[in-house]
Structure 1
Amino acid sequence: MVAFYAIILLILATIVANTIYPYFPIIPKAFYQIFMGALLSLVPMYHHFILEPEMFMLIIIAPLMFYDGQNANAHELRRNVGSIVSMAVVLAVLTVIGMGYLSHAILAGIPLALAFALAAIVTPTDAVAVSSITSNMAVPERVMGMLERESLFNDASGLVAFNLALAAFTTGQFSVGAGIKHFFVVFLGGLLIGLVLGIAAVMVRVYLVQSGKDSSSVVVPFDIMVPFLIYLAAEHFELSGILAVVAAGLVYSASTNQLRLSSTQLQLVSRSTWGIFTNILNGFVFVLLGVSLPTVWVNIQQDHNKSLTSFILLAVILYLVMLALRYLWIRLDWALIHSEKENRPHNALVGALSGVHGTITLAMAFSLPLTLHGAAFPFRNTMIFVAAIVIILSLLVPTLVLPFVLPKKTVTVDPETITQQRKALVAYASERLIQENPDTPASAQSVIEVLNSQATNARPDRKKTRDILKQATQVEVETVQKLADDGVIPNSFANRYVRVLVIKSQMSRNNPFVNLSLWFRFVWHRVKFMLSRKWRRKKRIALQQQRLQEMPHTPQQEQLQQQRIQQETRQLQRHPHRDPRVQARQRENFLKIEQDIYTNIINFLTQISTVDNQAEVNSVRNYYNARHRRFEENKSADFQNELFIQAFQYEYTYIRQQRTAGAIPVELADELYQQVSMDQMLYTQEIAGTD
């Protein structure tokens, strides 16, 4: 149970950090997650928290790398093989070698093999972290493409170099030739086994689709299990599990046409599931960094033979040297991104600053063994601490510097304009539906209700909603009064209906205590009325019996009087509201007025509806639709589907008319077309799923 609670708290911390981030997006999301992790370290179960390294790599890193490979553009990768080799292999290996010797020189006492392991830890970059920092900045396309391709493969280079360094330290033996040979075996072997198993996974996926077993409950869990199984298989053969899952992800990316044979609904569910899953895992890494830092800090302070200042200095030097290496590599065009000569200094600066370290760096730091030959692994806390400082510096420096180097990202289409036009096209489609289907207002309103829910997520203003509801109530009262004046319903029923309606209206406007008081007053009035009616009947029966005894009467009069007494007694014994005939009459009267009330209310709401008050009008409309559906007979589902198709066609018509008239630009029209197409696709999938 302790492990369960620990995982739940980690998820909760990640959710809280992700919730706070949109309010202050100027600070990268990773910092919020690190801070929440630091707060979580105050919980007793996280004191001296240590994560199992093998489980960390398997559970967190394997699916993240598979997802990155799955979303990579295979065509772009083939076109930029040279750039990938240059940045992810050559530069990565040179960085490990250079940083290894530098770490060994600065930090006295650390073995050379562990210095190389530390260099391998801080070498890989993280494109996801870069994207979170530069989300509002216009990063040059060539530089961003280089960063994404580099981060996909230099993780594997760093991991292979890291494993070689650890093996050299634990065994005490290292040969340059054997090391290079082992590097290529692990590197290429991981790619090969990943390709083979990835092709096998795609074939299974295609078989499930072709055999009709492509439900989301089968395919999505299968896809999630693939990276774990492939990683375990590669590690079993002592090959690179990370490269294996990357290669499998690339096979998935290259097999897009075959995988598209699955239903659109399945593709949407799969994409959404993977997006949520990887978002949580990325958050986990930085939350775990925040959780672990206090423990690492305490352990380092307790080790009096180590200097905390020298660790921080080492981390700063490593970061600055890597920054300079990246700048020179891109500036001299050894990165092979082929940028124009006049743009190289700018691209080199952006590319160097964007070398952010994140998930893989922390993962490798955590994957350091806990023990060696029965004793604590030497320098483990030191290496984790240095890696954490490098991560924080690589996040902090570009956050402060890049806004002065890069321009703000220009939005092609203003989101507010999209929202306004979305409301307008829904309003147009709603009006056309009502005009074209006057005989079936309830079915049309059901379709309009769904369209309005897709148009905006804005919450209705309570005051505006109350005002519109008050006006709608007045329309309802006027309708009932007219029906009573025309003799359609009895005046007594109209009075009772309006009285209840006014009471409900008052209750909706007042505070809860006033509502409760009104409700009790209404209930007490009904109780007194029933009790007094019962008492009056008893009094009438007693009076009739007394008259029957005192006054002279004929047999016919006596018989008539007895019939009246029996009738009053039956009425006394039977509650009038439980009389089926009374209930039938009341329902008949209500059905007489419901259709007229509903029609007049919907017409009124349609007349006052604008783009600005659409959320409030929809709220009131939904209330009357829900009430009306209780009394409206269910219409054919096929007919409602036809109305939905009509509505989508009206939305397309609105976009085409606005585009032809020049009222909206091409980009906005394309965005609206995509949104309507997505809504139509989702609705079509829903119909197919219910057939």
Structure 2
Amino acid sequence: MVAFYAIILLILATIVANTIYPYFPIIPNAFYQIFMGALLSLVPLYHHFVLEPEMFMLIIIAPLMFYDGQNANAHELRKNVGSIVSMAIVLAVLTVIGMGYLSHAILAGIPLALAFALAAIVTPTDAVAVSSITSNMAVPERVMGMLERESLFNDASGLVAFNLALAAFTTGQFSVGAGIKHFFVVFLGGLLIGLVLGIGAVIIRVYLVQSGKDSSSVIVPYDIMVPFLIYLAAEHLELSGILAVVAAGLIYSVSTNQLRLSSTQLQLVSRSTWSIFTNILNGFVFVLLGVSLPTVWVNIQQDHNKSLPHFLLLAVVLYLVMLALRYLWIRLDWALIHSQPTDRSHHALIGALSGVHGTITLAMAFSLPLTVNGAAFPFRNTMIFVAAVVIILSLLVPTLVLPFILPKKAAAVDPAAVAHERKSLVAYATKRLAQENPDNPAATQSVIEILNSQATGERPDKKKVRDLVNQATQVEVQTVQKLADDGIIPSGYASRYVRMLILKSQMSSHNPFVNLTVWARFVWHRLSFMLSRKWRRKKRIAEQQRRLQATPHSDRQERLQQQRIQQETGKLKRRPRRDPRHNQQKREVFLKIEDDIYTNIVDFLTRISTIDNQAEVNSVRNYYNARHRRFKTNTATNQNELFIQAFQYEYTYIRQQRTAGAIPKELADELYQQVSTDQMLYTQEIAGAD
């Protein structure tokens, strides 16, 4: 149960951070997640929290790297092999060597092997963190592509260098030749095992689809399990599990055509599942960093309180030197991204600032062993603290600097224009649907209700809704009056219906608590009247008998009084039975009233509906649709054909607007995509229902 509560709290912290971020998007989401993690550290469950690096790498890093590999462009990777080798291997190795000697020089007493381990920890970059920081900025395509390709492979470089440094420290032996050999075996071996297992995973997936076992309950769990199994297999063979899952993800990316053989519904479910899954895992990374920082801070103060400024200085120097090294590497075009000479300085500055550290750095820092040869591992808290400060600096500096050197990202299509045209095409489709299907208003309005709810997420204006309800009430009254005037329904029924309608309108116009009180008094009156009816009849009989005995009377008066007593007694003993024909007539009259009112209300709402009042009209329409369904519970509808007809009207609207030049091509493409997605989802829903 402890593990369950820990996971639930992590998910909750991630959700809260993701909820706050849209309100203040100027601050990157990663900082909200770190802050929520710091608050989470106050929970007793997370006191003295220690991250298990093996579980962190397996559960969080493996699926994230697999997903990145899936979404990587294999053609771009082949075309930029030189850039990948330059940034992810050559620059990474040189950074480890340079930062190792620098750390050893600044931090007196730290062994050189541990200095290299610290350098390996802070070397890998994180493209996910970069995306979080630059989500609202237009990063040059060449630079962003370089960062994404680099982060796919330099994690493995850092991990291999880290493991070599730890081995050298624990054994006291290190051979340059053996180290280089081990590096290439782990690096290339991880790629090879990932390619082989990735091909096998794709073959199995294609077989499942072709054999008819392509339900989302089979394929989606299978896809999610693949990165975990491949990572475990590579680590068992002492190869790079990170590179193995990246290679397997690339195989999935290359095999897109074969994987598209599955149904559209499966592809949509799979894509949505992976998107949600990876977003939560990315949130976990920074929430865990926030949870871990208080423990690191306490430990570092307990160990070396007087040396804390030296550790901060080391972290700042390491970050600045890595920043300068990245800048020079890209400025001299050793990164092989082939920027134009005029853009090279600008791209170098952006690429240097965007060397953000995150997931792998955090995982390697916490993977430092607690003990070595039976004693506490030296400088463990120091190395974790330095790594944490480097992560914070790499997030903070670009957050403050990049907005001044990068323009805001210009959306290909203005979201406001998309929303406006979306409302317009739905209004067009609903109006055409109502005009072309006058004989089946209930089914048509049910489809219109769904289309309108999908077109806008706005909350209806309460005042406008009340005004529309009052107008609709007038339509009801006029309809009932006409039915009575034409002799279609008895005037008594019309009067009863209008009184009920006016009472409902009066109640709805007051404070809800007052309405509740009025309704309670009305119900109590009816209940008390029904319960006291027998008692009141008995009381009247007793009073009549008393008067008969107390007052002088003639034989005729006595006979009449006895008849009255017998009549009251008869009412008391047996309630007269209602005529079934009367009940049936009453039901038929009210059904006729409901049908005519519903038809007129639909015409009224269709006539007054505009783009600006869609939310309010749909709110009133929903009420009348729900009421009509209660009267017409057995009405057969043919909504499938109506939905298909509505989608065709939406396509017609887009085509007409594009032909007339009223909307640009990009906006038309966006609208086509939205309507196509709606149609695919509805078609799949029909197939599932059948």
Q: Tell me which interval the TM-score lies in, with the shorter structure as reference length.
A: over 0.9
**Corresponding residue of 1:131:** 131
- Offset, 1:477: 2.2
The reply to whether residue 657 of structure 1 matches residue 660 of structure 2 is no
- Offset, 1:109: 1.2
- Offset, 1:460: 1.2
For 2:231 and 2:95, locate their aligned partners in 1 and report how far apart those are by CA, in whole Å.
26
Query: Which amino acid is the alignment partner of residue 3 of structure 1?
Result: A
Change beyond 3 A, Cα 1:565–1:516: closer
Task: Return the TM-score normalized by structure 1.
Answer: 0.94
**Corresponding residue of 2:680:** 681
For 1:305 and 1:22, locate their aligned partners in 2 and report how far apart those are by CA, in whole Å.
39
- Alignment counterpart, residue 572 of structure 1, candidates 570, 575, 583: 575
Change beyond 3 A, Cα 1:15–1:553: closer
Give the secondary structure class of the aligned counterpart of 2:601: helix
| Range with bigger deviation, 325-334 or 498-507 | 498-507
Question: Aligned residues, how many?
Answer: 685
**Corresponding residue of 1:611:** 611
Give the secondary structure class of the aligned counterpart of 2:342: helix
- Offset, 1:526: 3.0
For 2:25 and 2:564, locate their aligned partners in 1 and report how far apart those are by CA, in whole Å.
87
For 2:263 and 2:362, locate their aligned partners in 1 and report how far apart those are by CA, in whole Å.
38
The reply to whether residue 640 of structure 1 matches residue 643 of structure 2 is no
- Offset, 1:305: 7.2
CA-to-partner distance for each residue in 1:27-51, whole Å, 9 max, x for gaps?
A: 1111111111111111122111112
For 1:256 and 1:314, locate their aligned partners in 2 and report how far apart those are by CA, in whole Å.
46
For 1:570 and 1:134, locate their aligned partners in 2 and report how far apart those are by CA, in whole Å.
84
For 2:199 and 2:544, locate their aligned partners in 1 and report how far apart those are by CA, in whole Å.
97
User: Are the counterparts in 2 of residues 300 and 306 from structure 1 also a CA contact under 8 Å?
Assistant: no
Q: How does 1:141-180 map to 2 (within 5 A)?
A: 141-180=141-180
Change beyond 3 A, Cα 1:60–1:544: same
- Offset, 1:516: 1.7
Q: How does 1:574-613 map to 2 (within 5 A)?
A: 581=581, 583-613=583-613
For 1:534 and 1:609, locate their aligned partners in 2 and report how far apart those are by CA, in whole Å.
54
CA-to-partner distance for each residue in 1:284-337, whole Å, 9 max, x for gaps?
A: 111111111111111111113761111111111111111111111111111111
Change beyond 3 A, Cα 1:87–1:636: farther
Change beyond 3 A, Cα 1:249–1:550: farther
User: Are the counterparts in 2 of residues 423 and 456 from structure 1 also a CA contact under 8 Å?
Assistant: yes
Q: How does 1:310-325 map to 2 (within 5 A)?
A: 310-325=310-325
For 1:359 and 1:480, locate their aligned partners in 2 and report how far apart those are by CA, in whole Å.
69
Query: Which amino acid is the alignment partner of residue 654 of structure 1?
Result: Y
Change beyond 3 A, Cα 1:171–1:499: farther
**Corresponding residue of 2:551:** none
Query: Which amino acid is the alignment partner of residue 673 of structure 1?
Result: Y
Task: Return the TM-score normalized by structure 2.
Answer: 0.94
Q: How does 1:624-639 map to 2 (within 5 A)?
A: 624-632=624-632, 634=634, 639=638
Q: How does 1:227-266 map to 2 (within 5 A)?
A: 227-266=227-266
**Corresponding residue of 2:88:** 88
**Corresponding residue of 2:397:** 397
- Offset, 1:580: 5.2
Change beyond 3 A, Cα 1:526–1:367: same
- Offset, 1:504: 2.8
**Stretches of structure 1 lacking an aligned partner (at least 5 in a row):** none
User: Are the counterparts in 2 of residues 460 and 615 from structure 1 also a CA contact under 8 Å?
Assistant: yes
- Offset, 1:494: 2.6
- Offset, 1:343: 0.9
For 2:45 and 2:443, locate their aligned partners in 1 and report how far apart those are by CA, in whole Å.
56
| Range with bigger deviation, 241-250 or 521-530 | 521-530
User: Are the counterparts in 1 of residues 136 and 409 from structure 2 also a CA contact under 8 Å?
Assistant: yes
Query: Which amino acid is the alignment partner of residue 616 of structure 1?
Result: E
**Stretches of structure 2 lacking an aligned partner (at least 5 in a row):** 549-553
For 2:18 and 2:255, locate their aligned partners in 1 and report how far apart those are by CA, in whole Å.
33
For 1:116 and 1:634, locate their aligned partners in 2 and report how far apart those are by CA, in whole Å.
77
User: Are the counterparts in 2 of residues 285 and 363 from structure 1 also a CA contact under 8 Å?
Assistant: no
- Offset, 1:541: 9.2
Q: How does 1:241-640 map to 2 (within 5 A)?
A: 241-304=241-304, 307-527=307-527, 530=530, 551=556, 568=571, 572=575, 581=581, 583-632=583-632, 634=634, 639-640=638-639
| Range with bigger deviation, 337-346 or 474-483 | 474-483
Change beyond 3 A, Cα 1:208–1:635: farther
Change beyond 3 A, Cα 1:425–1:5: same
Change beyond 3 A, Cα 1:536–1:50: closer
Query: Which amino acid is the alignment partner of residue 361 of structure 1?
Result: T
User: Are the counterparts in 2 of residues 122 and 387 from structure 1 also a CA contact under 8 Å?
Assistant: yes
User: Are the counterparts in 2 of residues 53 and 369 from structure 1 also a CA contact under 8 Å?
Assistant: no
For 2:614 and 2:575, locate their aligned partners in 1 and report how far apart those are by CA, in whole Å.
52
CA-to-partner distance for each residue in 1:502-556, whole Å, 9 max, x for gaps?
A: 333333332232012210232244346656876888799999999xx965999xx
**Corresponding residue of 2:41:** 41
- Offset, 1:13: 1.0
CA RMSD of aligned residues (A): 2.7
For 2:248 and 2:102, locate their aligned partners in 1 and report how far apart those are by CA, in whole Å.
36
For 2:21 and 2:464, locate their aligned partners in 1 and report how far apart those are by CA, in whole Å.
31
